[in-house]
Amino acid sequence: MSEEGEEKQNILDKLNKSFTDFVENTFGESGKNFIEETSEKIKEFSNTSIKKFMEFSDDLLEKLNLNENEQVIKARDSVEDLLKQTGLLVEDEEEEF
């Protein structure tokens, strides 16, 4: 990840921690648990949505016979790598084997 990307991620991490602390101080442990559970569900939803989009784009590339175009595949792979690096796309363990 680039230096700028790491800086933005650090800011987001700090913001998330501060928000979680605020909710915990305001609503107690149950509020903190709610925020953490909601955050996890959002991550799962985002990951699922991104996977579905990547599947759709792969299907579209195949139907348009672009899956053999090196430039298109290189761009697609770059997008996938960036999504993985940022944690927006997480592969299932069974897909890694």
Quick check: helix, strand or coil at residue 16?
helix
pTM of the prediction?
A: 0.64
Structure tokens at 47: 């990951």
Residue 97 forms part of a structural domain: no
End-to-end CA distance of the chain: 25
Domain count, the chain: 1
**Residue 15 lies inside a defined structural domain of this protein:** yes
The pLDDT, as a whole number, for residue 43 is 84
3-state secondary structure labels for all residues of 17-85? HHHHHHHHHHHHHHHHHHHHHHHHHHHHHHHHHHHHHHHHHHHHHHHCCCCCCHHHHHHHHHHHHHHHH
Per residue in 29-56, pLDDT (tens digit) is: 999 999 999 988 988 888 899 999 999 9
- Its domain, for residue 48, covers 3-92
